[in-house]
Structure 1
Amino acid sequence: MRNSKITWAVVTGVVVAALAGVGVAVAVNRSSSNNDAAPSTRVTESAPSPSASPSPAPSPGADITGPLDLLLAGVDTRINVPDWEPHADAIMLLHVEPGLKSAYLYSLPRDLRVQVPAFKKSGFPGGKHKITEAMAYGSRVPGKSTKNIANGYELLTKTISNYTGIKTIQAGAILNFGGLDQLVDELGGIDITVDRKVKSRHRQPNGKLRKLVGHDYIGPQAVYLPGKRHLVGWQAIDYARQRYGLPNGDYDRQLHQRTLVKAILDKALSQQLSDPAKLAAVITALGKSLVTLGGRQPAEYAYALRDLTPANITSVQLEGGGVGSGSGYLGEQLNSEARGFLKAVATGKIAAYLKAHPKLVSKG
């Protein structure tokens, strides 16, 4: 039973935290101690015992008590398009409450119009832009065509902190959704409830890519029908990518992406990954999907989040609408209820706020 508990702790740290933003590019066979890492949250210190026999060393991560704010940025790299700059195509945040037994998962619209601060590293002067573009502006390297993803992530986190009022994002991950299908396949596929008919813009029914002609795709489309479905890797990621043709566009896609995260966690929880080879395969699949920044070692988060299960992660849907000048679309802005939720996150009053605004909690 203890081995099973330890295994789930690792899966929690690697899968839960990874998909919600904890740095996990290094595998669990690397040392969990990191004397140079900045603490991810407050540390409780106690005086050493005068006992003659040494006390067992505390488990790495035992000092992490929360709260935590973790970021996942799903990045659209489009490496086949010359001079394309990385954009944050999906922005999800996980707020873990003090005690680390419950959490809230929510998204920010990719087209949210915000003030992006000036950033000396890339020569960006600052200004009002879509939040998806913060990654691109921060990743520029003056005088070079190469891109610095870490700098792009840094500007994105600064932008998010300024907009939300969240002072510190302890750790984060940049995720290429194109690689996440390997993780789903390593888990044997996932079970997900499709809430409405979704037509794929990118894939054929056999999983092959549709042909891109100009700015649109042509040919047969994969279709996801409402109901409980078992999806393999490419289907799960394709379903979570779609926004065109949905009644609420990117807001519906945000919900589907959060549903995907929880479905992956449910599947990981249902499996007894005590087989080192199986667990190593899961880690490898994640490693191919992620570029991670900040935070402490994955084993530390694994221990800290050992009691956090998918059932205790509340999905929150933030709504908004388009803004523009005349007939020109400039982006999205959250409504007052959604902005109130972000203030509740920053001030540690989420439970009370959601009790007063229950419609923000995603159903299913």
Structure 2
Amino acid sequence: MAPSGGAYHRHRAAAPPSRLRRGLARGLMALVSVGAVLMTGAGYYVAHGALGGITVSDALSPEDPRSSGDNMNILLIGLDSRKDQDGNDLPWSILKHLHAGDSDDGGYNTNTLILVHIGADNKVVAFSIPRDDWVAFSGVPGYNHIKIKEAYGLTKQYVANKLANQGTYSQKELETKGREAGRAATLRAVRSLTGVPIDYFAEVNLAGFYDLAQSLGGVDVCLNHAVYDSYSGADFPAGRQRLDASQALSFVRQRHGLENGDLDRTHRQQAFISSVMQELQASGTFTNIDKLKSLMAVARKDVVLSSGWDEELIQRLGTLFSSGNVEFRTLPVVRYDNIDGQDVNIIDPAAIKAEVAEAIGAPQASTTAATTAAKPNPSTVVDVINAGSMSGLATEVSRALKKRGYTAGQVRDRNSGEPTATTIAYGAGAETDARNVATLLGLDAPKQPNAAVQPGHIRVTVDTNFSMPVQDDTTMDDTTTSKSNTYYYNGAATTYPTPDQGKPIDGGGVPCVN
């Protein structure tokens, strides 16, 4: 256990039929964590075909893997950003309530990642992914391991800078394309870590969380111990209490002085969601048309949705979550460590995949791109087509495949009539190599030859959101070092606390947390 008074902390890395039923359905979306309940209002607009300003993302492409049958996985993303959807700074009238620094702080880290699984049997399990989990990563030169929270921001910056150098895009276009690439990178990172597909996602920023809590008139929480943290503004006694919007943000953002580091923060996010769900069920918020309109207005500016949200989905979620029958879990951490000056969570990817598979009752199947023992046929030619706006991407992919032993063919931009999204196709006689290339690139393998592709050829098409997946043989750079699992407090050396995953939290009350 860490000493009190903020001794232990994590370093920030650089950078339906009835109105009631419809209301409960929307209330369900509280699972977006830090404010994702705002998804509820978004759900109304999506279900009625009038998005009314809701940002809809295409980062989750039709070619990405999907769940089978009636199973469903939804990724909920809490973005630690002080900027709006166009990249403009949030006004000081909002920032002053957030205890979150100015618009230069936070960057585009995804400080909340929750994967919600809804089974065909209506079993609901929500997995919190600690933001400092040290994961394999590719797609941005100079990085092969990062904290999972950084996948969004690093990719966003890299793509935006690369496009800016071409000199043909406005600042707003650079922001939009960069964020889309960041979302796609986050989706890949979570799929790789958990071994399961993602069918939908929702993203909300800090302002969205604050607006949500304010619209509810505060949130009930319960603390095991009194806390004080000048960084987040958290200053609360032990026990159950009601927090206003600014305090609620401090409650879920506190990361200094917590007994169990990064994992305690995930437990707070889970407790917040559980409390909000109870609040929405008890208060009748969505039966009041004025409150409902207010919530919708918040959703328009604070939420991003993947395509595909519709009334049937909202109804299903409403039926499930109104019962409060949700289990929250925190994915396991092996130990805390410090690598190149960054406090990180060392994880066991195989153990994480096994826990997710066990909890959802599914066979283990990783979506991580894996190397294959089969040797490429030297007569098979791989053509790579750039369908996106980032120059050099097709060349990068072609070179990577050549290193794997594949014969490089054409490398060019797409022609009219060719695919516009990342996909793979093959001509007669290239089926085996096409499947292996698809595995290496993390793409769905084509099921039959394409007459438009020459015999013996494979056509790989990549768009702006694509980046080469990490391969199984990826290791840390020689310059990356893991330091002693110690830190210093009042002149004395001590160790990080032992990670405590904690017991699963159900979604039916206000649990007490650290």
Same fold per TM (> 0.5)? yes
Cα displacement string for residues 219-242 of structure 1 (whole angstroms, at most 9, x for unaligned residues): xx5411221111121111111100
Larger Cα-atom Rg? 2
Q: Relative to 1, partners in 2 of residues 1:315 and 1:42: Cα closer, same or farther, differing over 3 Å?
A: closer
What TM-score does the superposition give when structure 1 sets the normalisation length?
A: 0.72
- Report the AA paired with residue 156 of structure 2: S
Q: Relative to 1, partners in 2 of residues 1:10 and 1:126: Cα closer, same or farther, differing over 3 Å?
A: same
| SS at 1:105 equivalent | strand
1:285 and 2:428 matched: no
**Residue in 2 that maps onto 1:164:** 194
What is the percent sequence identity of the aligned residues? 19
Asked whether the 8 Å contact 2:222–2:240 carries over to 1, the reply is: yes
**Residue in 1 that maps onto 2:70:** 66
- Shift, 1:331, TM fit: 2.0
- Listed as ranges, the matches of 1:247-286 within 5 Å are 247-272=259-284, 273-286=286-299
- Higher RCO (C-alpha under 8 Å, 6+ residues apart): 1
Unmatched 5+ residue regions in structure 1? Answer: 44-64, 204-220, 351-357
Separation in structure 1 between the aligned mates of residue 307 and residue 113 of structure 2, nearest angstrom: 17
**Residue in 1 that maps onto 2:117:** 95
Separation in structure 2 between the aligned mates of residue 347 and residue 126 of structure 1, nearest angstrom: 34
- Report the AA paired with residue 313 of structure 1: V
Q: Relative to 1, partners in 2 of residues 1:72 and 1:264: Cα closer, same or farther, differing over 3 Å?
A: same
Equivalenced residue count is 310
- Report the AA paired with residue 25 of structure 2: V
Q: Relative to 1, partners in 2 of residues 1:305 and 1:283: Cα closer, same or farther, differing over 3 Å?
A: same
**Residue in 2 that maps onto 1:131:** 148
| SS at 2:319 equivalent | coil
Asked whether the 8 Å contact 1:138–1:151 carries over to 2, the reply is: yes
| SS at 1:250 equivalent | helix
Unmatched 5+ residue regions in structure 2? Answer: 1-16, 51-57, 84-101, 165-170, 365-500
| SS at 1:306 equivalent | helix
- Shift, 1:255, TM fit: 0.4
Q: Relative to 1, partners in 2 of residues 1:286 and 1:196: Cα closer, same or farther, differing over 3 Å?
A: farther
- Listed as ranges, the matches of 1:67-216 within 5 Å are 67-79=71-83, 80=102, 85-100=107-122, 102-118=123-139, 124=141, 127-140=144-157, 141=160, 142-144=162-164, 146-147=174-175, 148-166=178-196, 168-202=197-231
Separation in structure 2 between the aligned mates of residue 237 and residue 172 of structure 1, nearest angstrom: 22
Q: Relative to 1, partners in 2 of residues 1:157 and 1:257: Cα closer, same or farther, differing over 3 Å?
A: same
1:6 and 2:30 matched: no
Separation in structure 2 between the aligned mates of residue 251 and residue 176 of structure 1, nearest angstrom: 21
- Shift, 1:349, TM fit: 6.9
- Report the AA paired with residue 163 of structure 1: L
Asked whether the 8 Å contact 1:13–1:306 carries over to 2, the reply is: yes
Q: Relative to 1, partners in 2 of residues 1:70 and 1:230: Cα closer, same or farther, differing over 3 Å?
A: same
**Residue in 2 that maps onto 1:348:** 362
Asked whether the 8 Å contact 2:78–2:203 carries over to 1, the reply is: yes
Separation in structure 2 between the aligned mates of residue 5 and residue 254 of structure 1, nearest angstrom: 31
Separation in structure 2 between the aligned mates of residue 124 and residue 323 of structure 1, nearest angstrom: 24
Q: 1:223 aligns with which of 226, 231, 235?
A: 235
What TM-score does the superposition give when structure 2 sets the normalisation length?
A: 0.53
Q: Relative to 1, partners in 2 of residues 1:270 and 1:4: Cα closer, same or farther, differing over 3 Å?
A: farther
Separation in structure 1 between the aligned mates of residue 186 and residue 147 of structure 2, nearest angstrom: 11
RMSD of equivalent CA atoms = 3.6
